Amino acid sequence: MNLIEQLKHIPDPRGRHGQRYPFWVLLVLALLGSFCGYRGYHSLATFCRKNATEIQAVVALPIDIPMPCMSAFRRLFLQVSDQALAAIFHQWCLSFMRPSPGSWVGGDGKSIRCTRTAKGANFISTVTFSTGSGNDCELPRTARSP
C-alpha cells in the first residue's frame, strides 16, 4: 500500500464546516514540504504556492481551489494525531526495509540554544532510533571537555 492510501486511514478530526481540502491532502502536502526542507507553517504554505501546478496534478486538486495557507497547516498540526501519523509512516517505511537484528542504530544529540556555558550544558537531549522505536532520554548536566 502506498503512503497516500495509508494516510487516508487517519481519522479527520475537523468539523463539517470549512473543509476546503481532504485531510489526507493536507497530510501529504505537509510531508512533501518537509521532505523538501520546508519547516514551519509559513514555509509549508510557500512550498505549496511555489509548486502549485505539480501538486494539483499529483493529488488531483481542482485548479480553482487555492493552495493551503499557513493557518491550514497550523490547524492541521494542532489537530492531527501524532501517534496515528507516526504509526502509519512507520508501517510505510517498513514496506521498503525490514531491519534485521543487530542493525545499526542512528543517534543524535542536541542542546537547547543558550544553555551552554563554559562549565557545561544545562540540558542535552539524546535521541536514538532503531527497529520502530524512538527513545528520548535527558542526560544529567555534563561538563565540556577543554
pLDDT, residue 66, reads 85
Write the DSSP assignment of the chain as a string of letters: --HHHHHTTS---S-STT--S-HHHHHHHHHHHHHTT--SHHHHHHHHHHTHHHHHHHHT--TTSPPP-HHHHHHHHHHS-HHHHHHHHHHHHHTT--PPTT---EEEEEE-TT-EETTEES-EEEEEEETTEEEEEEPPPBPPP-
Residues 16-25, mean pLDDT to the nearest whole number? 80
User: Which of the four pLDDT bands, split at 50, 70 and 90, describes residue 142?
Assistant: very low
Of 44 and 119, the structure prediction assigns the larger pLDDT to 44
Give the per-residue pLDDT at 136: 42
Give the dihedral of Cα atoms 90, 94, 97, 103; nearest 10 deg: 70
Tell me the per-residue pLDDT of 31-76, one tens digit each, with 9 for 90 and over. Answer: 889 888 898 899 999 999 999 988 888 877 777 778 889 998 998 8
Q: Provide the whole-model pTM.
A: 0.62
Q: State the pLDDT at residue 81.
A: 83
- CA nearest neighbour of 48 among 71, 32, 60, 64: 32
Using a pLDDT cut of 90, give the percent of the chain over it. Answer: 8
pLDDT of residue 65: 79
Higher-pLDDT residue of 32, 19: 32
**92's grid cell:** 510505510
